[in-house]
C-alpha cells in the first residue's frame, strides 16, 4: 500500500487554489469564468470533454465541464449557469477572487483517435455548448487533423446563446467550418434561423458520413438523436455527455452511477450505443 516515491501524497479531495481572472457575462444566467493559478498558468492539464470540481467554501462544490480547449496554454475556463446555491455564489464573486478547483475528472471525447480525419457535426443547446466548445477549439487549433466541421447551436432566445465571440466571429471565420445558429421562437432583432434544434438538423440535410457530438438539455438530446437516426446516422457515430449529481468526482462516493458505470469516471462522454447498454435509469 505505501509506495517509495518522494511525492507528497495529497488527498484527491483537496482542491487547488485558483484566481478568477475574467468573468464574461454570456447571458442573463450564464457567466464564463477564466481562472489561473495565483502565480499564473493552468492548475492542471486536461482533454476535451473532461470536467473539474469547483470549490466555493462554505457553499460546497459542484462539477462543471472545462469549456476551454487544452490547447489554451495559459488559463482554464468554465461556463456556469446560475441554478443553485454554489452557482449563485460563484456568480456573486468578482475578478480577483480565489476559488478552489480539482480535476480533471472523467473521460474525454476521442479527439486523438476516432475523431481524427473525420467530418464532424457538433450539436449544442443552451449551456450544453460548454463541453463541446473545448472540443471545437481543440479541433480548430489542430485544423489539419480533422475534416469538414459543422456546428449547429441553438437556444431558447438570442439572449441565451453563449460564447458570442466564438459563434459569431471566431468559428465562422475558420476554414471548412460552418456555423448554423437557431433560436426556438421568433424574436425581435433576430434575423437568423428560427426553430428547434432537432428540426433544424433535418432541414440542413447533413450527409451521414460524420461523427456527431451532441450536448444540451436531455430533451434536446433525445430528439436530436432521434432525428440523426432518422436521417441515417448510426448510434456508433454519435457521442454525448451525461450529467448526474456528483460529490467526489473520483468514483468512490457511489452517487453518480447508472448501472455499473460511474458518470464521473466512465463518463461523462458516452457513445450512444454504449448508453443503450445502460439500464433505463436516466
Partner 1 sequence: MMKKISKSQFSQLFSNIDKSYQLFLPVELDGKVNFDLWQEGDKVNIEKLKTNISPKSFIFPQSETYMKFKRDGKKLKIDNVSGKKEDYVIFGVRHCDASSFKLLDNVFLEEPVDRLYEQRREKGTIVTMACFEPEENCFCTSFGIKPQTAPIEVDVTTWDLGESILWQSQTQKGEALTEKLNDILEDAANQDKAELNSLQESTKGKVKELPLAKLDPTKITGELKDLFDSEIWQELSERCLGCGSCTFVCPTCHCYDVSDFKGDAQTGERFRCWDSCMFSDFTLMAHGNIRKTQKERVRQRFMHKLVYYPNNHEGVYACVGCGRCVEKCPVHLDIVKVIKKLGGE
SS3 214: strand
Nearer to partner 1, 100 or 172 (CB): 100
Does 160 help bind partner 1 (rule: CB under 8 A)?
Answer: no
Encode burial over 38-59: b for 16+ CB neighbours within 10 A, e otherwise: eeeebbeebbbbbbbbbbbeee
Does 277 help bind partner 1 (rule: CB under 8 A)?
Answer: yes
CB 34 within 8 A of CB 94: no
Does 244 help bind partner 1 (rule: CB under 8 A)?
Answer: yes
Segment contacting partner 1 by CB under 8 A, of 131-139, 156-164, 203-211, 244-252: 244-252
Q: Which residue in the set 40, 41, 83, 176 belongs to the binding site for partner 1 (CB under 8 A)? A: 83
Segment contacting partner 1 by CB under 8 A, of 98-106, 193-201, 208-216, 231-239: 98-106
The number of residues that bind partner 1 (CB under 8 A) is 43
Does 61 help bind partner 1 (rule: CB under 8 A)?
Answer: yes
Residue with cell 454504449: 274
Q: Which residue in the set 117, 222, 259, 273 belongs to the binding site for partner 1 (CB under 8 A)? A: 259
**Which residues neighbour 217 within 8 Å (Cβ) at sequence distance 6 or greater?**
125, 126, 128
Does 251 help bind partner 1 (rule: CB under 8 A)?
Answer: yes
Main-chain dihedrals φ then ψ at residue 258, nearest 5 degrees: -120, 110
**Which residues neighbour 6 within 8 Å (Cβ) at sequence distance 6 or greater?**
none
CB 250 within 8 A of CB 265: yes
Q: Which residue in the set 144, 191, 205, 260 belongs to the binding site for partner 1 (CB under 8 A)? A: 260
The CB-of-81 to partner 1 minimum distance in angstroms stands at 9
Q: Footprint of partner 1 on residues 5-44 (CB under 8 A)?
A: 9-15, 17
Does 60 help bind partner 1 (rule: CB under 8 A)?
Answer: yes
Does 267 help bind partner 1 (rule: CB under 8 A)?
Answer: no
Segment contacting partner 1 by CB under 8 A, of 92-100, 107-115, 151-159, 190-198: 92-100
Nearer to partner 1, 17 or 25 (CB): 17
Grid cell in block for residue 271: 457513445
Contacts 24+ apart (CB under 8 A), 90-94: 90/31, 90/33, 90/54, 90/56, 91/31, 93/20, 93/23, 93/56, 94/20, 94/23
SS3 82: coil
Encode burial over 136-169: b for 16+ CB neighbours within 10 A, e otherwise: bbbbbeeeeebbebbbbbbbbeeebbbbeebbee
Q: Which residue in the set 100, 110, 147, 158 belongs to the binding site for partner 1 (CB under 8 A)? A: 100
CA 190-191-197 angle, 5° bins: 80
Q: Footprint of partner 1 on residues 137-156 (CB under 8 A)?
A: none
Nearer to partner 1, 188 or 280 (CB): 280
Q: Which residue in the set 179, 221, 248, 275 belongs to the binding site for partner 1 (CB under 8 A)? A: 248
CB 101 within 8 A of CB 15: yes
- Site residues (CB under 8 A) for partner 1? 1-2, 9-15, 17, 57-61, 83-84, 94, 96-100, 243-245, 247-248, 250-255, 257-260, 277, 279-282
Amino acid at each position: 500500500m505505501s509506495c517509495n516515491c518522494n511525492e507528497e501524497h495529497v488527498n484527491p479531495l483537496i482542491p487547488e487554489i485558483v484566481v478568477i481572472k475574467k468573468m464574461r457575462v454570456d447571458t442573463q444566467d450564464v457567466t464564463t469564468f477564466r481562472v489561473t493559478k495565483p502565480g499564473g498558468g493552468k492548475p492542471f492539464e486536461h482533454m476535451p470533454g473532461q470536467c473539474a470540481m469547483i470549490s466555493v467554501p462554505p457553499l460546497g462544490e459542484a462539477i462543471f465541464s472545462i469549456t476551454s480547449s487544452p490547447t489554451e496554454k495559459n488559463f482554464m475556463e468554465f461556463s456556469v449557469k446560475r441554478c443553485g446555491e454554489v452557482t449563485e455564489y460563484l456568480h456573486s464573486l468578482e475578478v480577483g477572487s480565489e476559488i478552489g478547483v480539482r480535476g480533471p475528472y472523467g473521460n474525454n471525447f476521442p479527439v486523438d483517435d476516432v475523431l481524427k480525419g473525420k467530418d464532424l457535426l457538433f450539436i449544442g443547446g443552451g449551456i450544453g455548448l460548454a463541453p463541446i466548445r473545448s472540443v471545437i477549439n481543440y479541433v480548430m487549433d489542430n485544423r489539419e487533423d480533422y475534416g469538414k466541421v459543422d456546428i449547429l447551436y441553438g437556444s431558447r432566445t438570442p439572449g441565451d446563446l453563449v460564447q458570442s465571440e466564438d459563434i459569431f466571429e471566431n468559428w465562422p471565420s475558420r476554414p471548412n467550418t460552418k456555423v448554423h445558429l437557431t433560436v426556438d421562437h421568433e424574436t425581435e432583432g433576430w434575423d437568423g434561423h428560427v426553430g428547434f434544434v432537432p428540426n433544424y438538423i433535418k432541414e440542413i440535410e447533413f450527409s451521414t458520413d460524420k461523427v456527431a457530438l451532441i450536448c444540451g438539455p436531455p430533451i434536446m438530446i433525445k430528439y436530436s438523436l432521434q432525428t440523426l437516426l432518422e436521417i441515417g446516422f448510426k448510434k456508433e457515430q454519435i457521442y454525448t455527455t451525461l450529467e448526474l449529481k456528483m460529490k467526489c468526482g473520483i468514483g468512490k462516493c457511489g452517487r453518480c452511477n447508472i448501472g455499473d458505470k460511474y458518470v464521473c469516471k466512465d463518463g461523462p462522454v458516452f457513445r450512444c450505443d454504449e448508453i443503450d447498454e445502460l439500464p433505463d435509469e436516466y
